[in-house]
Amino acid sequence: MRAHARFRAPEGALYELVHGDLIGRLGCAAMPLDDGRVSEAHAMVSLREQELRLVALRGGFAVDGRPVSEIALRAGMEIVLAQGLSIEVEDVYLPSVVLGVESARIPRQVLPSVCSILERPEPRLLTGYAERGGAWIWYTGDAWRLRLGNEPPRALLAGDTFMVGDERLHAIDIPLAAAGLAPTRPHGGVATPLRILANFDTVHLFRNEVVAAVLGGIPARIISELVALGGPAHWTVLTGLLWPQEPDPDVVRSRLDVNLSRLRRKLREVRIRSDLVHTDGAGRIELLLYPDDVVEDRT
């Protein structure tokens, strides 16, 4: 009970990808491609408006000889990632409902293939396996499984409830129409159009052509890297750019969370919407831009 697309790799292997899954050279990619013509995080599958779409990240692709940055996936489609290198969409499955979880402090969200539920510093769902999790959920190919702490794994079905620490979570059916990325309203600040000047180590934020904030350090790098990527990125891609020498995913995820919190606090202080850097609950981070916002990339 999950929306997925099945891809055939150049060597013939089949990969089943869901919302938030990556295609690229990264070892953690759901469809890893060992080819120098492919970027580390080349593209990502995204559930949007009741469709599974392929979104370009650090690499481009073409369909029917036309370069595109995003396209709805259809069975039989050939996607050219680089000259002489293509993948094929074998089939696309879009059920009427998909399984998700929610709690008082964890917003309703679709389950990725593997996820961990963390207790501290506050309850949240993390895509992928994290040792520090209090619970783990994964998909076996025909069923969902849940492991709580040191207990044996068990089936997870819509309607089930379970405790992680003092947080009660609910497994729920989410209609496909409500499962994709939803429009986001401005939070914690005014919605005046922004001009964002990204200089890599510094970022200038203008409101009505007046400087509202000058960011430096890692918060500026976060925005600059997202500007350079030109679209949503999985958190592992972003942390790989910010801390390339740190191999421990738990360490870099913690660093990212701390710096995102600092960035959003700063945005609130200067009355810029704190959801400018938006996370979707499936491991993706992107700049949430409104129609009149302007970005200048000087990275």
Separation of alpha carbons 98 and 94, rounded Å: 9
Q: Residue 142, exposed/middle/buried by CB under 10 A (0-12, 13-18, 19+)?
A: exposed
Sequence-distant (≥ 6) Cβ neighbours of residue 171 within 8 angstroms: 99, 100, 101, 144, 156, 157, 158, 159, 160, 161, 162
Look at residue 188 in the predicted model and tell me its pLDDT.
41
- 8 A C-beta contact, residue 272 and residue 212: yes
Identify the pLDDT of residue 250.
85
Q: Is the pLDDT of residue 181 over 70?
A: no
Asked if 4-93 and 97-178 have one fold, the answer is yes
| Residue of higher predicted confidence among 88 and 128 | 88
Cβ–Cβ < 8 Å for 126, 138: no
> Average pLDDT, stretch 158-178?
92
**At what angle are helices 235-242 and 217-229 packed, to 10 degrees?**
120
Any idea which fold 194-297 has?
Answer: Arc Repressor Mutant, subunit A (1.10.10)
Domain boundaries, the chain: 4-93, 97-178, 194-297
Check if the beta carbon of residue 201 is closer than 8 Å to that of residue 220.
yes
Question: By percentage, how much of the chain surpasses pLDDT 90?
Answer: 41
Supply the pLDDT for residue 187.
Answer: 42
Tell me if 45 sits within 8 A of 61, measured CB to CB: no
Q: How far apart are CA 52 and CA 3, in angstroms?
A: 8
Tokens 């917003």 — which residue?
Answer: 107
Q: Is the pLDDT of residue 160 over 80?
A: yes
Say which CATH class 4-93 falls into: mainly beta
For residue range 244-260, list pLDDT tens digits in order.
888 888 889 889 988 99
pLDDT value for 136: 97
The maximal CA–CA distance of the chain, rounded, in angstroms, is 58
Rounded to the nearest angstrom, the gap between the alpha carbon of residue 102 and the centroid of all alpha carbons in its chain is: 18
Phi first, then psi, for residue 15 (nearest 5°) are -130, 135
CATH of domain 97-178: 2.60.200.20
